[in-house]
Chain A
Amino acid sequence: MKPPAFSYHDPRSIADAVGLLASLDNAKVLAGGQSLMPMLNMRFVLPDHVIDLNRVEGLSGIREESGALVIGAMTRQRDIEFSDLVRGRCPLMHEAIGQVGHRQTRNRGTLGGSLCHLDPAAELVAVAAALDATLTIAGKNGVREIAFADFPVAYMTPALEPDELLIGARFPCWSRRHGHGFVEFSRRHGDFAIVSAAALIEEDAHGKVTRASLTLGGMGPAPLRAADVERALIGEKIADKRLREICEPLRRLDAVDDIHAPATYRQQLATVLSRRALLKAHERIAERPRP
C-alpha cells in the first residue's frame, strides 16, 4: 500500500501554513500522522497537497495561564502523558491519555490531530468536551476562538474552514480539590472506546456536590454532555445506590448501532461507566488533602 501522489509542503511558521491552506486546493494538514497516514496508505483520502506541520515553530508546548492549561496543537500525546502540569492541574486528561492508542502512536500523535480528526470515541475529544475547552483557530483573516461544544458539526467534521488551522486549545482547570474519573470500555487496551465516561466533581465541606461535569464518548457523532445528570447531582452526596438512580436515565440516550456494539449495549455502558467515573471522582476528592 502506498500513499497517492501529492505535493509536499513543510512550512516553518503558522502564517506560512495558513497561507498555503488559503492558496492550495484539496490540501490536507499532516499533524502526527496517526490517522491521516493510514488513510493515505489505504487511499481513503486523495489530497493534491499535504501540508506537514511538524516543522512549524510555536505550535507545541503546555503552559498554565490564568487558571487554564494552554496546549499547542502539535503537542505530542506523549508530552501530555508525561507532563507534571497536566497531571497536577488537569488530572482527567492525564488519566485519559494513557488509554489513547499505544506508546508508539502517542510518541507521534498530537492533541490537535486528535481534536480535528474528531473520532467520536477518541479520549482527547471527550476530555475537551468535559473541560469546556476553547479552541484557537488561525485563518487568513486572523485568529478566532471557538468553544469546543460548537466544534463538531457532524460525524468527524470539525467547524474549520478549508483555509483554517487549529493552533491550540485552552482547558480551564478545576479547583485544586476537585475529583476526576475517566473510564472507558474497549475490547483491547489502546483501542478507541466503545463508550467512555469522563466525570469531574467538586464537593462542599459536607460532601455535597457543588459542581459536576459528565461526558459520554462513543455514543453518537460527538461527545455528549449529560446536562440532566450534571444538574441532578448538585446538592447530592455521592453514594452508589443514589448514583444508580441518577444515571439510569442515560439508558434512554440516543446511541449508534454499529459493528462494534448495538445501541442497547452502548446505553447500558453509559449508565454503568458514568456511575463508575463519578464514584472514582468522589473517591479521589476524599484522597486529596484538605487545605
Chain B
Amino acid sequence: MSEQRSIAVTVNGTAYEKTVPVRLTLADFLRQHLRLTGTHLGCEHGVCGACTILFDGHSARSCLMLAVQADGHDILTVEGIAPDARTLHPLQQAFHEHHGLQCGFCTPGILTTLIELLRDNPEPTEDDIRIGISGNLCRCTGYHNIVAAALDAARRMREAQKELHV
C-alpha cells in the first residue's frame, strides 16, 4: 500500500479535499480522481505539453508535478477556460474558426499555454506565439492555423478590453 496524504486544492474555482497516494502525478489526479479528462497525457515526461495546466496562474506540465504539491494551490484546466457551458472563450472561438485543431489531442495544452501568454503579453507578434507554444507538440496542423488563431484571439481580446473601457 502506497503512502497517502490529504490535500485541499482548488480546480477551476471549485474546492476539493481528497486523499491521494503521494506518488500520484497531478495529471493523473485531475484525470482519474476529479474526472477532468480535458487535460491530456501524451509523453508523460515533460516533452509534449499536452498536460499543461495553470498552477497559481502559471503554465506548468501537470505530468511533472505530484498531486500532493498542489495542496493549498489554485489550478486552471482547459475545462475552466470558457465563461459558461454555452459560450466559448475568445481563444477557443478563434481555434474553432481558424481550424486550429484537427484531432484535438494537443489543444488543451496549447489553450492553457496561450491563456497565460495572452494575459502577460496582449499584443504578441507571430514570433512570440511560435516561441510561446514551442513546448507544445501538434502532429496534425503544422501549427499555421494555431498561430493564426492565437493572433486573431489576441486581437479580439484587445478589442473586447477596449469596449469595456469605453
Q: Which residues 20-78 of B sit at the A interface, judged by CB distance below 8 A?
A: 22-23, 25, 28, 44-46, 49, 52, 55, 58-61, 63-66, 68-69
User: Which of A3, A5, A7, A104 is the one whose CB lies under 8 Å from B60?
Assistant: A104
Q: Enumerate chain B residues within 8 angstroms of A50, measured Cβ to Cβ.
A: 22
Whether the pair A3, B46 counts as a contact (CB closer than 8 A) is no
CA A33 to CA B60, docked complex, whole Å: 11
Q: How long is the Cα–Cα vector from A108 to B59 in the complex, in angstroms? A: 9
Q: Pick from A37-45, A145-153, A220-228, A261-269 the stretch touching chain B.
A: A37-45
With contact pairs A33-B64, A103-B59, A107-B59 given, residues A41 and B45 touching in the complex (Cβ less than 8 Å):
yes
Min C-beta distance of B113 to chain A, whole Å: 7
- How many cross-chain pairs have Cβ atoms below 8 Å apart between A and B? 89
Residues of A within 8 A of B (CB): 1-8, 10, 33-34, 37-38, 40-42, 50, 52, 54, 78, 101-105, 107-108, 188-190
Given A2-B28, A42-B45, A190 contacting B68 (CB threshold 8 A): no
Closest residue of chain A to B44 (Cβ to Cβ) is A1
How long is the Cα–Cα vector from A78 to B120 in the complex, in angstroms? 13
**Beyond A50-B22, A102-B49, A107-B60: 20 further Cβ-contacts under 8 Å?**
A2-B28, A3-B23, A5-B23, A6-B3, A6-B23, A8-B3, A8-B68, A33-B65, A34-B46, A34-B61, A37-B45, A41-B45, A52-B68, A52-B69, A54-B69, A103-B117, A104-B59, A105-B61, A105-B64, A108-B61
CB–CB B58/A78 < 8 A: yes
Assess the A108–B135 pair: CB atoms within 8 A.
Answer: no
Cβ contacts A to B, 16 pairs, < 8 Å: A1-B44, A5-B2, A8-B3, A8-B23, A33-B64, A37-B65, A38-B64, A41-B25, A41-B45, A41-B64, A50-B22, A78-B58, A102-B135, A103-B113, A103-B117, A190-B135
- The answer for the CA separation of A282 and B51 in the assembled complex, in Å, is 42
Point out the residues of chain B lying under 8 angstroms from A105, CB to CB: 46, 61, 64, 135
Contact B23 A2 (CB under 8 A): yes
B134 interface residue per 8 A CB criterion: yes
Q: Assess whether B45 is in contact with A1, with CB atoms less than 8 Å apart.
A: yes
Question: Is the pair A8, B61 in contact by a Cβ cutoff of 8 Å?
Answer: no
Q: Beyond A4-B23, A5-B3, A107-B55, is A37–B134 a contact (Cβ under 8 Å)?
A: no
Q: B79 near A: Cβ within 8 Å?
A: no
Contact residues in B for A7 (Cβ distance below 8 Å): 3, 22
Query: Quick check: is B116 within 8 A (CB to CB) of the other chain?
Result: yes
From A3, A104, A189, give the contact of B113 (CB < 8 A).
A104
CB distance from A56 to the nearest CB of B (A): 13
B84: min CB distance to chain A, Å: 27
Tell me whether A103 and B135 are in contact (CB under 8 A): yes
CA A194 – CA B62 in complex, angstroms?
27
By beta carbon, the residue of chain A nearest B64 is A37
B164 is an interface residue with CB less than 8 A from chain A = no
- Chain A residues within an 8 Å CB radius of B22: 6-8, 50
Residue of B nearest to A6 (CB): B23
- Residues from chain B with Cβ under 8 Å of A103 in the complex: 59, 113, 116-117, 132, 135
Determine how close the nearest CB of chain B comes to the CB of A289; give it in whole angstroms.
Answer: 28
Which of B3, B5, B49, B69 touches A104 (beta carbons < 8 Å)?
B49
A residues within 8 A CB of B52? Answer: 104
Q: How far is the CA of A69 from the CA of B22 in the complex (A)?
A: 36
Let me know if B131 is at the binding interface, CB within 8 A: yes
Residue pair B55, A101 in contact (C-beta under 8 Å) = no
Q: Which residue of A lies closest to B130 (CB)?
A: A189
* Chain A residue at minimum C-beta to C-beta distance from B63: A41
